[in-house]
Amino acid sequence: MIKRYKIKPDGGHQVVLKIGENDSWLGLEVLRMEQGERWQGSSNEDEVALVPFSGKCSVEINGTESASWQGVGGRADIFSGSPYAVYIPRRREFMVTADTKLELVIAKAPCDADRSPSLVKPEDVKVISAGVANWRRDVRLVIAPGSPVSQRMIIGETINPPGNWSGIPPHKHDEISGVENILEEFYLFKVKPAGGYGVQLGYKEGNEESFVIHDGDVYLMENGYHPTVASPGTTLGYFWVLSGDDKAYNITIDPRFDWVSSAEAILKETQK
């Protein structure tokens, strides 16, 4: 149900993680660069999103419609605020220059429609306080469902407070039905403090998995329900991307948790 990958702390520079060659809808690379270093890429038949986790970079995009931006990024880490993102359409060459020491995430998804290059600024990111009680978390919608920026990718970040759950109510998006469509998804975790941990669960039809989350872990959700919990004293920050043939965020809720939405409404009313 879930595949785990790990970014090694001593992974060096340039590409320190690359996944996605055998998966249908998603690709991921993580770059680490020193100030002044350059990295050249090609989107080929994918749409691409560049999201700085830390540091600043300049991006130059060449092709049918060219664009360039300087000073993209600037946050210290995922816990320090909403990100910048650069959207690169298919069939483009691009150059990344590290303006400072840089950690950069590159998300990819197959694409058969032309879009324009775009810069998403932190003020463009919608931040939602999702859930209540011990399943409250902050969700940053970088490229939201229905956004015209991308064809297939839905991109966001979640900040999960100590002891709290996210992915509640548990949901899945691994089959086509009247209420659900297939969306692959990955989570890239950062943990604060670095020695803390969380737990990633996956389950469906009698199959159960659990993983201890460490800083730099990446989880590809292939199927099943997939809630997440932070241990006491640990804040989880994770970058997530979904992609499928249909971009609509249509999901199935674990029927055992149908009560959650009603409980949230009641609890929010009592907190006024």
Q: Taking the chain (272 residues) in consecutive chunks of 10 residues, what is each chunk's mean pLDDT? A: 78 67 81 95 96 98 95 98 98 97 95 96 98 97 96 98 98 94 95 96 94 95 96 98 93 96 86 68
pLDDT given for residue 233 in this prediction: 98
CATH number belonging to the domain at 2-270, selected among 3.40.50.150, 1.10.10.60, 3.40.50.880, 2.60.120.10: 2.60.120.10
pLDDT at 220: 93
Q: What pLDDT, on a 0 to 100 scale, did the predictor assign at position 244? A: 92
Q: How far is CA 123 from CA 85, 135, 184, in A?
A: 11, 25, 27
Measured distance CA(153)–CA(146) in Å, rounded: 10
Contacts of 14 (CB under 8 A, 6+ apart): 31, 32, 33, 37, 39
pLDDT for residue 23: 60
pLDDT of 120 reads 98
Contact 121, 52 (CB under 8 A): no
Q: Are strands 85-88 and 46-54 parallel, antiparallel or unpaired?
A: antiparallel
**Closest alpha carbon to 226 in 165, 180, 182, 161:** 165
